[in-house]
Amino acid sequence: MDKLRRPLWGLIVLLIGIGLGSCKTTQPRTSTAKPPVEESPRISIQSELPVLPESASQQVITRIQQKAPFDPIEQVIQESQARFLQGEKDLKAGFLEKARKNFDEALEIILRSGFVISQEERLERHYEGLLDRIHNYELAALKEGDGFTEERYESAPIDEISSGELPLTFDPKSKILAEQTLKKVPHDIPLALNDTVLRFLDYFQNNGRKAMEAGMQRAGRYRRMISQILAEEGVPQDLVYLCQAESGFKPLAYSKARCKGLWQFGAARGQEYGLRQNWWIDERSDPEKSTRAAAKHLKDLYQQFGDWLLAMAAYNTGPGNIERAIERTGFADYWQLAKRSTIHPETQKYIPIILAMAIISKDPGKYGFEVTPDPAVTVDKVHIDSAIDLRLAAESLDIGLSQIQDLNPHVRRLTTPRNDLEFTLYLPEGTKEKLLHELAAIPEDMRVNWRLHRVDEGETLSAIAKKYRTTPSAIAQVNSLNERRNIQVGEKLIIPVTPDRGRGASPIIAGSWVRHKVKRGDTIASVARDFDVTSAQIRKWNKLGVNTRLRLGRVLVIHPPELMAKSSPPDNTSRQGASRHSDGANEKRTRVVHRVKKGETLFAIATNYKTTISSIRDWNNLSQNESLKAGDRLTIYLGR
């Protein structure tokens, strides 16, 4: 068996060898050498990995996570700037008193911060920038008149009435009463009766009663004047109720739509019809001129639309809106336009409001109203081309300031415009000649500053002079009085209130501060002398160091004992003939030389320097009859 197995295994091995040989390729085998395997370097556990750059998102996250350090100076600047910007907004909106308060607070924030301004460059730059900008705003305001003086205005009734809650239904009795009224009283515009008109009739007898009564009462003031102008312009008399709806006969009424006056003119429409609006006046509040303008405007609208209801609707919403509504619907009828809501919702109420007011006003007793109209305003008109203070006008006529203001609601300031030949000043009837007579004694260029004073019991020239910050001798001279003579109770005196004449422009007064802009030659010591304060005080108020020098144009904040800047004219040579022999008292006082300006008088100069006319005459050897000429030089000794 073993012998048989050996050949069998040999045969198997041979067959396997033959099979393997048949699988070889015909090409010779090429051997490929394996590259030597390098041993990888061992990484030390202690070695640092390379730092990769942060992505943009990672950088943003890092900045958010890292809080910026607190900067107290920047916070003060931001708070101050916010107040200043609010002041600018108030100024542009016409809220002058608010603007002044915000400007002052912007500066106070810095002064209260505790920082020494001169030692912090950013704070000093911001502070001085604010002072310059506020100074320029105030200077511009003062040049125009009263500076930061708030203008008067009242709310317009049309706003309240249009937004009032209208009854959903009406009392049937109102319809019966209205029908009786229309049969009984004449009317020259179509007084339609429909649901909306009847609902407004109920409204004015209930929730709107107060507005209705106020308008009916004030109508007495202007009804006669309005009726006359409407007749002269050839338009319906019942248009007076449009005025009642718009303003309640309040000349200072001002609406949310920025319309003003009895007839609620917008600025552009007012200018179109000749109503001037500037710093001094706003003729939209002139009762007579605005009535004339409204009559002309309504007449033009009637000629355009051929229907008084459409004309009144166009007066409210503008003629363009009515034209487009007519084009869209094809109806040239107010009620059809309102029914289709193609006109503004306020205009849909506007005509019913006017008609309801007209119906009640024509027969008020029938609707439960018992109102006594105010007396008619009757006036004299005077044209004065020189500026005049309304207080002077009131004092000249022995009436209160409020009375003269009520007659002149179009005057926006306490001063009338300068060199305006078209301006009309309204006075109580019969007083024109009295005013002109009183003004004749006052130079034209002093009618803004001078006043009239009626002597009360116990008053003396000295007391009156102190009240108006002038001198007894100045009052005596302009009134041709002996300074030693007793004045009589009831006597009327001209008071020469002289405006400040500081070096250069007058300082700007704000609250208890005076802001002085540094001029060439100014030093801290010289400014301190001018304002009767100490150098230390000026340094303290303005955070100035001991060695700080004043820069030309810098604005200093000063708190003088009185809000009156003292003059110190910079001339160096005296008037020829001036006394060269001053007594010992004068030698101890500060000596200045004043160059006489055109129109100046001795009493004005004496008042400005807080001295007396007789002293100036003595110092300069002037006789009683010697007059001054422009260019003369006067020696003045300041009593400090």
Give pLDDT tens digits for 185-209: 999 999 999 999 999 999 999 999 9
pLDDT over 70 (residue 581): no
**Selected residue with higher pLDDT from 103 and 22:** 103
Least confident of 138-142, 170-174, 546-550: 138-142
pTM of the model as a whole: 0.56
Least confident of 67-81, 311-325, 502-516: 502-516
**Selected residue with higher pLDDT from 538 and 18:** 538
Least confident of 38-42, 223-227, 371-375: 38-42
Q: Cα separation of 173 and 107, whole Å?
A: 65
How high is the pLDDT of residue 239?
A: 97
Residue 26 pLDDT level (bands cut at 50, 70, 90): very low
Mean pLDDT in residue range 377-406: 90
How high is the pLDDT of residue 566?
A: 34
User: What are the C-alpha distances in Å from 631 to residues 535, 573, 625, 634, 636?
Assistant: 33, 11, 18, 10, 15
Residue 314 pLDDT level (bands cut at 50, 70, 90): very high
Q: Is 304 exposed, middle or buried (0-12, 13-18, 19+ CB in 10 A)?
A: middle
pLDDT over 70 (residue 11): no
Q: Cα separation of 637 and 611, whole Å?
A: 9
96: its two tokens: 């002058």
How high is the pLDDT of residue 184?
A: 87
- In sequence order, the 6+-apart residues with CB closer than 8 A to the CB of 485 are none
- Give the count of beta carbons closer than 10 Å to the beta carbon of residue 567: 17
**Selected residue with higher pLDDT from 50 and 591:** 591
**Selected residue with higher pLDDT from 242 and 609:** 242
pLDDT over 90 (residue 336): yes
pLDDT over 60 (residue 223): yes
Mean pLDDT in residue range 369-388: 92
**Residues 461-486 pLDDT 10s:** 888 888 777 778 778 877 778 777 78
How high is the pLDDT of residue 513?
A: 59
49: its two tokens: 């990995």
pLDDT over 70 (residue 70): yes
pLDDT over 60 (residue 320): yes
Mean pLDDT in residue range 482-511: 61
**CA proximity to 97, closest of 105, 130, 252:** 105
Mean pLDDT in residue range 443-466: 81
- C-beta separation of 354 from 245 below 8 A: yes
- The top-scoring range by mean pLDDT among 441-450, 562-571, 614-623 is 441-450
How high is the pLDDT of residue 544?
A: 81
**Selected residue with higher pLDDT from 184 and 583:** 184
pLDDT over 80 (residue 121): yes
pLDDT over 90 (residue 497): no
Residue 456 pLDDT level (bands cut at 50, 70, 90): confident
- The top-scoring range by mean pLDDT among 225-229, 552-556, 567-571, 608-612 is 225-229
pLDDT over 50 (residue 512): no
Share the mean pLDDT of the chain.
78
- In sequence order, the 6+-apart residues with CB closer than 8 A to the CB of 126 are 77, 80, 81, 110
**CA proximity to 246, closest of 258, 255, 236:** 255
For 156, which DSSP code?
A: -
**CA proximity to 218, closest of 226, 207, 229, 206:** 226
Helix (H) or strand (E) holding 510: strand 508-510
**Selected residue with higher pLDDT from 495 and 202:** 202
How high is the pLDDT of residue 10?
A: 54
Share of the chain above pLDDT 90, in %: 34
Residue 623 pLDDT level (bands cut at 50, 70, 90): low
**Residues 39-55 pLDDT 10s:** 444 444 444 545 555 55
Instruction: Using only the alpha carbons of the chain, give its radius of gyration.
Output: 44
How high is the pLDDT of residue 371?
A: 94
632: its two tokens: 């003369």
Residue 67 pLDDT level (bands cut at 50, 70, 90): low
Residue 77 pLDDT level (bands cut at 50, 70, 90): very high
